[in-house]
Amino acid sequence: MGREIVSLKDLYVYFNNTVSLGDINLSIKQNTILGIIGPNGGGKTTLLRVILGLIKPDKGEIRVFGKTPEEGRKFIGYLPQYTIFDHSFPLNVFEVVLMGRYRGIFKDYSKEDKAAVINALKTVSMLEFKDRQIGRLSGGQLQRVFIARAIVREPKLLLLDEPTASIDPEMQSAFYDMLLKLKEKMAVVLITHDVGAVSVYVDEIACLNRRLFYHGPKEEGLEKIEEMYRCPIDLISHGVPHRVLRGH
Amino acid sequence: MIELFLKYEFMRNALIAAVLAGVTCGIIGTYVVIKRIVFLSGGIPHATFGGIGLGYLLGINPILTAIPFSVLSAFTIGAIHKKAKVNEDTAIGIVWAVGMALGVIFIGLSHTPASDLIGYLFGDIQTVQGSTLFMMLILDIIILISVFLFHREFLIVAFDEEFSTVVGVPSKSMYFLLLGLIALGVVVLIKAVGIILVIALLTIPATISRKFTSDIKKLMFISTFAGVTLTIIGLWLSYLFDLASGATIVLVLGIAFVIFSFLSR
Ligand SMILES: Nc1ncnc2c1ncn2[C@@H]1O[C@H](COP(=O)(O)OP(=O)(O)OP(=O)(O)O)[C@@H](O)[C@H]1O
Ligand SMILES: [Mg+2]
């Protein structure tokens, strides 16, 4: 496995005096897909937001590419769980993805930026929609556009918060194949409830329910999830390939 | 119509004021409408009434004192919203009322006759002086330059503020800059249609234009064109029928809005 690019040490986040993340020690490694699973409210989104510097931890240390999250986040591509926006907003698909290439004040988007957008849209099979107004897409199409917006930066770390939630099965397998390709160039953090995918595509898993109950290679993790942790058990036994449940 | 505007100096000035106001409509109005901060753009002019009152109290051109007041109220709304984690509309309500209350106190202290205020409340584009025009021009230039420099940032922040932070836009500064520009735009419009009616100029031209395009640059051009044209038509009608100019302009805008709503069905 690659070298460590993000490290969290003894990290705590409280909301209104209740622990949302407690005692988190985690490292994210280069060229690795880390799957994060855990129940609703388990702190998965919060963890990504801490890495991005959108939430300041109350205690503990975090380094992103050896820097603070605010400095390190320029190497990160991010797909939020939800994006709330005005559906009549005057932007088309191409322009939305182009925003992912933002480089700083007074820096206009270049030819390479525009070429990268075309590429990213091809990757998520949304090129034919590039001139479509952003509000006039289906939920899954929109999700694919936001995936394109995250990868178009050519980041060194890609944070994906439930990327496949509204994606159809055919597109899903294409999506996971894409992740395997991207892994050659970056680290990927994948929040998902899709344990089937975790068992196939992910290198490491982290099981998060306010605390980090497991973090390590998936092989051991999958066997331990059910017995050890308060990760939702129904989630694991629904529609999941048998080999995942092997050993129980 | 053209002779009328050439013949009288006050009509010439009014015409220039209409063009300057139209530019504000086009640029600032577009942001107000796409970022859905209409209530904010209604609150700032009302709060600015405090600045108008201060001008009377100090015996200087009220438009001059309106500028810092308007910008300050916009920043206060932003600060209450961001720092105190109060809803933006609550913050607007507070600043709106406090600004107006200050205006009432200042005007009471300065013993200004109520009739003088009507022009600021409901607009009086036909009495615009050269010095006020000059100030409007400067404000428009500041707005145009800022938008030229920061349009990328404004667009990302308006679309998705969290994502803008993630990709490295200084989103807080940009939010406040945009608020400041809206405040300047409000001052430009006060002379044309008055505090109470500013909201019409900031929303109607941009809303009409949205029916024609979903490209932000075109949106700004069409809104500017619509704002200038409709303001001039209102001005002309108000002269022809001897009606209050600000109210006539707003009615023309309202009628245009209705017509275009039906046309685009
Ligand atoms: N801005 C906030 N203010 C207060 N509490 C919050 C905030 N954001 C998250 N929380 C709390 O922190 C906990 C973790 O939330 P988080 O969104 O990280 O969960 P999650 O694991 O992403 O859940 P899901 O699977 O539903 O997306 C929850 O209990 C939530 O109530
Ligand atoms: Mg979440």
Delineate the domains of chain B, giving CATH numbers in brackets: 2-264 (1.10.3470.10)
Q: Between residues A165 and A75, which one has the greater pLDDT?
A: A75
Which pLDDT value is given to residue B197?
87
CB-CB neighbors (< 8 A) of B34 in chain A: 86, 89-90
CA-nearest residue for atom 29, ligand 1, is: A41
CA-nearest residue for atom 25, ligand 1, is: A40
Q: Which residue of A has its CA nearest to B146?
A: A106
Which pLDDT value is given to residue A226?
60
Q: Which helix (H) or strand (E) holds A158?
A: strand A157-161
Residues forming beta bridges with residue A204, ordered by sequence position: A34, A217
Which pLDDT value is given to residue A224?
61
Which pLDDT value is given to residue A223?
66
Q: Are strands A33-37 and A187-191 parallel, antiparallel or unpaired?
A: parallel
A15 in contact with ligand 1, CB cutoff 6 A: yes
Q: What is the mean pLDDT of residues A93-98?
A: 98
Residue A243 has pLDDT above 50, yes or no: no
Which pLDDT value is given to residue B265?
65
CB-CB neighbors (< 8 A) of B149 in chain A: 105-106
Which pLDDT value is given to residue A245?
39
pLDDT band at A1 (very low <50, low <70, confident <90, very high): low
Q: What is the mean pLDDT of residues A216-240?
A: 57
pLDDT band at A227 (very low <50, low <70, confident <90, very high): low
Which pLDDT value is given to residue B33?
95
A221 in contact with ligand 1, CB cutoff 6 A: no
CB-CB neighbors (< 8 A) of A116 in chain B: none
A101 in Cβ contact with A116 (< 8 Å): yes
Record: contact B163-A80, CB cut-off 8 A: yes
Q: What is the mean pLDDT of residues A137-161?
A: 95
* Test mutation, A45, A76, A86, chain B, max B CBs within 10 A: A86
Q: Which helix (H) or strand (E) holds B49?
A: helix B38-58
Which pLDDT value is given to residue B113?
84
Interatomic CA distance for residues A55 and B231, integer angstroms: 47
Interatomic CA distance for residues B112 and A39, integer angstroms: 66
Interatomic CA distance for residues A155 and A153, integer angstroms: 5
Which pLDDT value is given to residue A248?
39
A43 in contact with ligand 1, CB cutoff 6 A: yes
Among all bound ligands, the one having the nearest atom to the CA of A43 is 1
Residue A131 has pLDDT above 90, yes or no: yes
For the CA of A49, the closest atom of ligand 1 is: 18
* Burial class, B130, CB count within 10 angstroms (exposed 0-12 / middle 13-18 / buried 19+): exposed
Cα-Cα-Cα-Cα torsion B217, B221, B224, B227, nearest 10 degrees, comes to: -110
A232 in contact with ligand 1, CB cutoff 6 A: no
Residue A230 has pLDDT above 70, yes or no: no
For every residue of B224-240, DSSP letters joined together read HHHHHHHHHHHHHHHHH
Among all bound ligands, the one having the nearest atom to the CA of A41 is 1
% chain A with pLDDT above 90: 75
A42 in contact with ligand 1, CB cutoff 6 A: yes
* Mean per-residue pLDDT of chain A: 88
Reference A36, options A199, A205, A203; nearest CA is A205
* Range of lowest pLDDT (A89-98, A140-149, A167-176, B43-52): A167-176
Residues of A52-87 as b/e, b for ≥16 C-beta within 10 angstroms? bbbbebeebebbbbeeebeebbbbbbbbbeebebbe
* Test mutation, A64, A85, A99, A109, chain B, max B CBs within 10 A: A99
> pLDDT digit string (tens) for A163-173?
998 889 888 98
> pLDDT digit string (tens) for A4-63?
999 999 999 999 999 999 999 999 999 999 999 998 999 999 999 999 999 999 999 999
Which pLDDT value is given to residue A213?
84
What's the length of chain B?
265
pTM to 2 decimals?
0.90
CA distance, residue B75 to nearest chain A CA (Å): 22
Q: Smallest Cβ distance to A83: which of B152, B160, B165?
A: B160
Which pLDDT value is given to residue B233?
95
Among all bound ligands, the one having the nearest atom to the CA of B162 is 1
pLDDT band at A225 (very low <50, low <70, confident <90, very high): low
Which pLDDT value is given to residue B86?
85
Q: Which parts of chain B sit beneath pLDDT 70?
A: 265
A158: left (phi over 0), alpha (psi -120 to 50) or beta: beta
Tokens (6 digits) for A193: 């409830």
Q: Smallest Cβ distance to A105: which of B153, B164, B165?
A: B153
